[in-house]
Structure 1
Amino acid sequence: MKHKKLTLLMSMLLGTTLLPAQAQQQDETQASSVERIAVTGSRLRQVDMEGASPITVIDSDAIIASGFNNVGDALRASNFNSFGSWGGGANNSWASQSTVSMKGAGSARTLVLLDGQRMAKSPVMDGGSANLNTLPMTAVERIEVLSDGASAIYGTDAMAGVINIILKKDFSGSEVSLRREQTSRSGGGDSYDFSFSTGFSDSRSNFIMTWEHQQRDPISMNSRAYEAPYVVEGGDPSLMDDWRMIWEWGRTIVKASDGSWDYQTPLMNNDCSVYNKDGQNAFVGPVSSLDYPADRACLYDHSVAANMTSGSNQDNILVIYNRELTADIRLSARTYWASNRSKDVSAPVPGDITFPHDLPSYTTAAGHTLRAVNEGDLFYYRFDSAGDRVAKHHDQILDFMVSVDGDTSWGFWESALNVNRYGNFTWGTGYLYTDAVVGLIGQFDEDSNSFVGWDPRDPDSAVPGGAAANVDKYSKARAVDFSIGAGFDLFELPAGTISSYVGAAIRKEHFLSDIDSLTKAGKITGGSGGAGGEGDRTAKAVYAELGLPLLDDLELNIAGRYDHYSDFGSTFNPQFGLRYTPVSNLLLRASYGEGFRAPTLADLYRGPTQGWYTITNYPLCHDTAGEDIAGCTRRDSLYVDIGGNDKLAAETSKTTNLGVVWDINDALSLTADFWELKIDNIITQLSPDLISYTQSQLWQAADTAGIARPSVSELFPNTAISFLPNGRIQSMQITTNNRGFEEKRGIDVRLNGRLATDFGEFRADLGLSHITRFNRSQTVQTNMQELELGINEIGRLGYPSDRVNLTLSYRLGDHSLTYYGNYTSSQQNKELDTNNNWVVDNQVGSMVVHNISYQLDLPWQGKLALGVNNLTDEDPRFDKWGGYSTSLYSVYGRTMYLSYTQSF
């Protein structure tokens, strides 16, 4: 059967290793007898997997052997995911999501396909990225990774590359699989997986159904020592400046009424420990500040209450049916349903209270003497007595695809209809109804000499129930995509036949994100995110591709695509590729392509949203005598307002690739690809730190010129930053805009070897991605000077220059042993000192994660697997603030697993 031929061909070409399994070139006599197949990155049917653009194939069996039990984790660990990507977590609305970001360009610039069709975009991520957590691992046959831009083939989002997840097509019988995974540390993180597959086939059709259930326990933040607050080595615990991993939002009065804006503790004796209840040592202090000597504050340790990761329950059901309608016409249908339920627990709400009237000092029945406050004073208050914030997220995906294709005397034709819908509902409890808080504050009764009502200063006065609020949010993304195309040979050249493909597509998208009316009106405190708005669009495209054999050993590929979007206009993107084989075992290739990314509907129509940030206060450093801006250490924590922009244009890109594929001998092959990616007109929100830095630069330039200090809003419309009289950042607003460019250069290397002996078969596979340059910048012209905002990021914190994967496997009979290693290079930030010398200001070390697994094939069609992931129990790598990249490093530590699979 055709599918069995294809499976046999793929196994011969690709082997069974997780890391880059290089397709072995076939000699001319073999290729002439092999059926032409479709390859990711081209619509032309061809014999060789290796073309002008680099393709890496990841086999599902090797994913499992390397210790991974889901698509998201495998792709996030890949060397192509250079700067890491989101893999789930807690304390935000993305807790249930998982993404991949090729070349560090961002997950929205990596196109994810499911059997060549666009995977549903997650509305939780504003419709910009696919959620890999919703894919059933048991249904995956392989993953094809195209590490080259491909907008000329697939349209938007394919700037950095394409991930094509290929599902199983031919399966007979039934299979049950169980897996139990347990962490070596207390505090959660264990998982339980179950899957069932069944299928049948006859001479003209096949049917496959899979069901997969995955369950993972949350990890509590207090189970990881590195999440606890600490004082820097040699530091003073009475100084706020020397604490790390702790928040100002504890119990701190801000004296706004007298204009000093000094911090004061609510108790006259400055004791903060009395606010600790139920044995939790959450409140720390009093502490003072080097910057503000009069300050006294009570800090809060949120790790005593929050989770690091959310608990989840996930179910996937996939049904595939294929049938040969006639000898030349085939029907394929696929239905995919996924449900992901997750629970996110965050620390109690940090809020601020403006006192509506004076409150006198008095001594409570428990003996606490409270500090007097005046009308207008603020209270930074952690609402711990109101309980934790709990957000329950429910994601549902329904995806349906039907395609009909056929062969004719002149070539082949194909058509496909894909409909997908992704919905998310979030129900949150433990939030704060802002308007109710002030009205609940009581008053001191002179007649009875006692306080009547709620006194937030009193350690024994609980927050009244009227302050509590719930939050609900609903979002959905829907897409309907229809495409039709045909491939045929044009005419003969001396070196061979010119092959061609022409096609057209239309896609309709709808996006909706809405929240309850109180949250939308800004009346709820403690939530993450907000309404993403609502919008529709229609995108139409026509495209064509040509394969021209210029010489016997030289082939040119030309592709072009014209897209028209109803909401921002049109774009044309060409692509060119050369494939040269000077000798039978050596392939030289080159490609150039232009790409684009359309703004998401949320980018265009997003309503006001909020995010919690810790921001470096560069303007305050500028105003403090003797301190250099570059080494600024003053940091403020606050909510930042973010908004959309319906005037956005598309991003554009240019990609260049030069590569070599060398089959050194029958057992060893080497691939190297040098690439460059430049993205212009980037759709982004300026980072809060960059806004703060820009404001300080504007002030510095104005002070030098002796003119009035301008606001950053004069530079960036609809962007603003405001300060309290003592210099602290009070608020910040950011709007999405097209700004600046990114430029990356790097090399991807793959080395694959295998050795068959009388003592078993050995395989070694190495994948290296090395980025040599990552410039992210924008030039801003002011009336004072031209400012270049941004620097070469490569090697700085969060931007490692090297990611390496190594797989070593050994198989003897029914036994197999696999080692998988994942290396992330060190990172460091350098700053200019007062002598204009570059010195290391902050750094993290390199990291290697080791996975080992053993598999045994049993004589009754069973398979047993034992494994350990992160064998040496590595922690994340921490910067000087105690922070770490959740995109690069896992918090699970060492995990052990046992799995059993039974086939029938």
Structure 2
Amino acid sequence: MKKKTLSLAIAGVLGFGGAVVLPANTYAQESADTIEEVVITGSRIRRADLEGFNPVSVIDRTMIETQSQVSLGDILQRMPYSAGAAVNTGVNNGGSGAVNFSLRGLGSQRTLVLVNGRRVVPSGLGANSVVDLNNIPPNMIERVEVLKDGASSVYGSDAVAGVVNIITRKDYNGAALNVQNGITSEGDGGQSTVDFNLGTASDRGSFVVSGYYTKQKPIWAGDREYSKEEIWYHPYWNPTGQEPGGSSAVPWGNHVSPASVGGDGVRYTRGQEFGAWRQYSGASDPYNYAPANYTQTPNERWGFSAFGNYQLGDFGAVRNVEASGEVMFTHRASQRLIAPEPLAPLAFFGTAAPYSDLNYYNITQGPKHSVTGDTMILTDWRRRMVETGGRDQVHETNTHQVTLALTGEVGNWFWDASAFYGENDASVLDLGYFQLERVAEAVGPTFMDASGNLFCSTDGTAAGVIDGCVPLNVFGQPGTDTQITPEMLQYISGNYVSMTLGGNDMSGVQFNASGPIMDLPAGELGMAVGVEHRKVNGFSQPDSLQLLGVSTAGSSLATAGGYNVDEAYVEFAIPVIAGVTGIESLELSLASRYSDYNTFGSTTNSKLGMRWTVNDELTLRATVSEAFRAPSVPELFAGQSTGYPQVSDPCAGNATQFCVADGVPSGGYDNAGLIQLPTLSGGSTALQPEEADILTAGFVYQPGWMQDLSITVDYWETEIDGAVSTLGPQLILDSCQQSGQYCELVERWGPGSGATVGDVKLITNLNVNVGGNDASGIDLSARYSMDTSDWGSFDLGLDVIHLLDYEKRLADGTIIPHAGRFEDNHDGNFPEWRWNFVADWNYNQWTANYTARYIGEVTEPLIKWFHSGDEENQVKKQLTHSVQATYNLESYNTRFTLGVENLTDEQPPFAYSGFNDNTDPRTYETRGRYYYGRVSFSF
């Protein structure tokens, strides 16, 4: 939906040329006796009705209490409007202990998170742009409003897919204590939570403090049938395609017999039996690394929050002035654990560490040349370092935010002014890794003195002894006296514990005011205005070995930077017609926000909404809007480095006019075809904001013949342009040769340089704005309530999401369809159908809940492990059932709750594209049947 389409849509709305509509789904209805003006997420204008212009789903306190989840992020990820690749604590390799939320699968970075209408500091393991929803415990939440529409015209950056606005508990009088424990039917993966709320209220103010402690225990991949063994699709080795996978870096070691010294170039191993050296079998010898991984990571959190407000009174024309403050703090300790290091310096790390033919262990235990019987220099050798116990990553984060605010009234206008500061700091420890330089020394030549003491040596003599070095034996058998010793491990690790420090901070001030401007024939003309100033900073600082890239932990660059923004907005609610047959009321909403960044400049984003109440039963709504996402600190300021990817320069053999203009001789130049060319990658301060156009249209139907039934249907459409990504060095070279595009990113050697004229000196592949996403779908929500005299009350709810289309546009114009597919592990999972059904029953002291969660099947391409055919795999659907019952012992103010998640113990569907556990833990229920109990006391 380009800007032209957006303009036409606005014109259509103004001309009322279609049945356009926008629903607001609610899980709990407000009392009809209360007429109070409130602000609904998506607008700053206070209004008496809850049905605004935007589609808003509400997760209320009752629904939160029917969940076993102890994280708001886990609750949101189970909603049908979640999709894509948001991480959670079920993601081990690639996880961080955080839980994020990706609305409609458009990305966590494009879903704005607010607490009480204000931004929250980004949080993670370093410079970040998204919020870890673990930091907001469910016990402090009154409700969560999820706006499923763009809202940059009201809130600014990041509100592309929508907004999650978390409303905390404020007017709480009394005390409550909740204790919950749970465990899977396999006896693992336990979760324990203790939380409390303490509040007091008077005519002048209130104060609420909440605290919590949560601990989640791990589940091992080896303890689940679906994840205990890595599965590959490999038709070359197995005609059926599917077979047990694994790694060629095995605990019993292997090597390639070097053809350069007369070997046959074949890989050999002693196998698990540690017998004679034999040819390595790709079918039976790979190491099964799956059992050594977590499928649910351990996670421990504690924190508190406090809210207080006090009525200061009237000050002349300024009435009902109220001061308030909020404080939130969360500490998280989490861990991930993956299989022990596959030590293969040349194959996996591109570092030469040849196993010397003068090394004692190679001489005595290593393979021999098949013809001469000599010890060989082994350049490609591999060994799984099981003695370390695994590659362990330990995270600790602290996140806090403080907000101070004043509110009041002047005439019929309401105003609020606030200031906030939030900070997140993190440390990441990586253990089980090695220093590559020390590995090279330890497998080099050795020297043995007269006493039988063995030393590393540069040349195998006493003169070349390397102080402190301990020779490494990768040919030994684990669990025997030939195994790798602690002294060997200590030397090649150098007692190395990789540490990365990072953090984020955000501060800001804002002022908002709203009220009526004048009376029009159809009602009051409402207006809201506001200004905001905000600063954001972030950093990530790896240790020196990671900066140099000389350890098996890999290389990582420092990130440091920040930006500030000044913003102003205006919003109108315009009553057009009222009290006419067929038009009970017709309103328009207009909003626009100007944002001025010190990085890229300014942007203005606007929105038009329409709400047409036909009668008491039917309301039509629609919005068309512009949204944007400002480049984040990591995207702007990530460290730049030069790498050497394998690419081919087409200008070498076919110098077009564009190549010649770029400095290539007309006859081309001589190169070696597919070569490694220097390529600069990293952040870029030249980035511009991502831009989006959004359309929503739908209706709310509440039939008079069934007054307790409510149905909403929404159509939505989002187009994102200028997504932050990279072009890739091969695309840069190809485009330069074919059209001249991107030639400015290719620097070439010229005459007199001493290098081949025209050869590539440097390719610049920094972050750029390129490509985008196009998505559309239909949301359906139905609610029905029924009271009976003999059986209590029933509340039924159904939410259905149908993804019509989702396309990712790449830099070269390629379109990758995502709807109904698990196309790419990075982008995530996009079922065409997802739905949740909820049934609540209340009868005297008893309440019960049943929840069904459905995730439709998806198709994944089978492009894996040397196979590039067009076969596809159908990833099956998953339907889970959960139940809960609560008894309220009113005489003791105590409630007892028992529940079972995934009652029928459904296993996650198999997916080849699943990087963790042969499935997708970001989408499916993976822990199996889960029992939990809760006791709640109130005072």
TM-score range, shorter chain: 0.7 to 0.9
- Aligned: 1:540 with 2:571: no
1:338 and 2:369 equivalent?
no
The residue number in structure 2 matching 1:684 is: 725
Pick aligned residue for 2:304 from 317, 334, 337: 317
* SS of structure 2 residue aligned to 1:222: helix
| Alignment correspondent of 2:436 | 434
| CA–CA distance in structure 1, aligned partners of residues 764 and 257 of structure 2 | 25
Aligned to 2:702: 663
> Which residue of 625, 631, 635 corresponds with 1:603?
635
Say if 1:495 and 1:446 are closer, same or farther in 2 by CA, change over 3 A: closer
Does the Cα contact within 8 Å between 2:358 and 2:444 map onto a contact in 1? no
Structure 2 residue matching 1:465: 3-state secondary structure: helix
Deviations for 1:467-488, whole angstroms, at most 9, x for unmatched residues?
1121111111000010012113
- 1:554 and 2:586 correspond: yes
Matches for 1:339-418 after TM superposition, within 5 Å: 339-353=331-345, 354-356=352-354, 358-359=356-357, 369=367, 377-418=379-420
Could you tell me the percent identity over the aligned residues? 25
The structure where strand makes up a greater share of residues is 1
Partner residue in 1 for 2:581: none
Matched, 1:136 2:137: yes
CA contact (8 A) 1:265 1:298 kept: no
Match of residue 814, structure 2, among 762, 769, 789: 789
In structure 2, do the counterparts of structure 1 residues 241 and 770 end up closer, same or farther at CA, with 3 Å as the change threshold? closer
1:827/1:273 CA distance change after superposition, 3 Å: farther
Match of 1:673 among 702, 706, 714: 714
In the TM superposition, residue 124 of structure 1 has moved relative to its aligned partner by 2.5
Q: 1:746 is matched with which residue: 767, 777, 783? A: 777
Show structure 1 runs of 5+ residues with no match. Answer: 1-18, 277-282, 290-296, 620-639, 703-707, 719-731, 781-787, 833-837
Structure 1 pair 315/397, CA: closer, same or farther in 2 (3 Å)?
same
Per-residue deviation, residues 340-370 of structure 1 (Å, max 9, x unmatched)? 1112222222232334464279998997756
- Deviation, 1:257, is 6.8
Partner Cα distance (1:487, 1:287) in 2: 73
Q: Structure 2 CA distance, aligned partners of 1:170 and 1:185?
A: 41
1:730-753: CA deviations, max 9, x gaps?
Answer: xx9974332201100101110000
Matched residues, number: 804
CA distance in 1, matches of 2:546, 2:208: 45
User: Following TM superposition, by how much is the alpha carbon of 1:502 offset from its aligned partner in structure 2, in angstroms?
Assistant: 1.1
Match of 1:808 in 2: 839
Contact 1:88/1:97, CA 8 A, preserved across alignment: yes
The answer for the alignment partner of 1:454 in structure 2 is 472
Partner of 1:167: 168
DSSP-derived class of the 2:280 partner: strand
Distance in 1 separating the partners of 2:711 and 2:558: 46
The secondary structure found in structure 1 opposite 2:222 is: helix
Counterparts in 2 of 1:591 and 1:259: CA distance versus 1, 3 Å: farther
- Report the residue type matching 2:534 in the other structure: R
Tell which deviates more after alignment, 874-883 or 394-403: 874-883
What SS does the aligned partner of 1:438 have? helix
Please give the alpha-carbon distance, in whole angstroms, between the structure 2 residues aligned to 1:713 and 1:246: 40
Q: Which residue identity does 2:400 align to in structure 1?
A: L
Partner secondary structure for residue 77 of structure 2: helix
8 Å contact 2:90–2:922 — kept in the other structure?
Answer: no
**Quick one: structure 1 residues 299 and 176, their matched pair in 2 at CA, closer, same or farther if it must change by over 3 Å?**
same
* 1:636 alignment counterpart: none
**Residues 812-891 of structure 1 mapped to structure 2, 5 A cutoff:** 812-829=843-860, 841-859=872-890, 860-880=892-912, 883-891=918-926
Show the 5 A alignment for 1:144-159: 144-159=145-160
Bigger mean CA offset, 251-260 vs 641-650: 251-260
Q: Show the 5 A alignment for 1:82-481.
A: 82-83=83-84, 85-89=86-90, 91-92=92-93, 94-124=95-125, 126-186=127-187, 188-229=188-229, 243-250=243-250, 251-254=253-256, 258=260, 264-265=266-267, 267=269, 270-274=270-274, 286-288=280-282, 298-327=285-314, 328-353=320-345, 354-356=352-354, 358-359=356-357, 369=367, 377-443=379-445, 453-459=471-477, 460-462=482-484, 463-468=488-493, 469-481=496-508
1:445 CA drift (Å): 6.4
8 Å Cα contact 2:116/2:165 also seen in 1:
yes
Question: What's the counterpart of residue 672 of structure 2?
Answer: none
2:504 is equivalent to residue 517 of structure 1: no
One-letter amino acid of the counterpart of residue 467, structure 1? I
Deviation at 1:680, TM superposition (A): 0.3
Superposition deviation, residue 793 in structure 1: 1.5
Range moving further from structure 2, 118-127 or 556-565 = 118-127
CA distance in 2, matches of 1:212, 1:737: 42
Q: Distance in 2 between matches of 1:487 and 1:237?
A: 69
Superposed displacement of residue 442, structure 1: 4.5
SS at match of 1:466: helix
Q: Quote the Cα distance in structure 2 between the aligned partners of 1:284 and 1:862.
A: 69
C-alpha contact (below 8 Å) 1:815/1:857 kept by paired residues:
yes
Indicate the structure (1 or 2) with the bigger Cα radius of gyration.
Answer: 2
Q: Summarize deviations over 1:687-713 as a string: whole Å, max 9, x none.
A: xxx999x79x97xx99xxxxx999999
CA apart distance, 1:58 = 0.7
Aligned-partner Cα distance in 2 for 1:207–1:184? 41
Aligned to 2:821, what secondary structure does the other structure show? coil
Pairwise CA RMSD:
3.8
SS at match of 2:333: strand
TM-score w.r.t. length of structure 2 = 0.79
Q: How far apart, CA to CA, are the structure 2 residues paired with 1:439 and 1:367? A: 18
Q: Which residue of 1 aligns with 2:463?
A: none
Deviations 1:244-277 (A, max 9, x none): 442233334246773999874454xx4244399x
Q: Deviations over 1:501-524 (max 9, x none)?
A: 111000011111111111111122
The secondary structure found in structure 1 opposite 2:63 is helix
Identify if the C-alpha distance between structure 1 residues 709 and 586 changes in structure 2 by more than 3 Å, giving closer, same or farther.
closer
Distance in 2, Cα, partners of 1:382 & 1:608: 32
Q: SS in structure 1 opposite 2:599?
A: coil
Against the structure 1 CA distance between its residues 227 and 420, is the aligned structure 2 distance closer, same or farther, given a 3 Å change threshold?
same
Distance in 2, matches of 1:212 and 1:234, equals 48
Instruction: Tell me what 2:21 maps to.
Output: none
Gaps of 5+ in 2: 1-23, 315-319, 346-351, 456-470, 579-584, 651-678, 748-762, 823-828, 864-868
Deviation of 1:68 (Å): 2.9
- Contact 1:657 1:675 (8 Å CA) reproduced: yes
CA contact (8 A) 2:66 2:849 kept: yes
Tell me what 1:63 maps to: 64
Q: State the match for 1:495 in structure 2.
A: 522
Q: Which amino acid aligns with 2:723?
A: I
Corresponding residue SS for 2:226: helix
Q: Contact (CA 8 Å) 2:234, 2:241: kept in 1 or not? A: no
Pick from 763, 766, 769 the counterpart of residue 798 of structure 2: 766
Partner Cα separation in structure 2 for residue 778 and residue 259 of structure 1: 46
Cα distance between partner residues in 2 of 1:709 and 1:579:
51
In the TM superposition, 1:613-762 aligns within 5 A as 643-664=682-703, 665-685=706-726, 735-758=766-789, 759-762=791-794
Name the CA shift for 1:417/1:204 in 2 (closer, same or farther; >3 Å). Answer: same
Is 2:128–2:634's contact at 8 Å kept on the other side of the alignment? yes
The answer (yes or no) to whether the contact 1:81–1:102 under 8 Å persists in 2 is yes
| Contact kept? 1:440, 1:464, Cα under 8 Å | no
**Distance verdict in 2 for CA 1:774–1:256, change over 3 Å:** farther
Whichever residue aligns with residue 247 of structure 1, its letter is S
1 CA distance for matches of 2:263 and 2:312?
Answer: 78
1:852-883 C-alpha deviation (Å, 9 max, x unpaired)? 00011112110110000011112221124673
CA offset at residue 288 of structure 1?
A: 4.0
Equivalent position SS for 2:131: coil
The answer for the alignment partner of 1:293 in structure 2 is none
1: CA distance, partners of 2:361 / 2:397: 51
For residue 610 of structure 1, report the CA deviation from its aligned partner: 13
SS in 2 for 1:74: helix
Deviation sequence 1:97-121 (CA, Å, 0-9, x none): 0011111100000001111111221
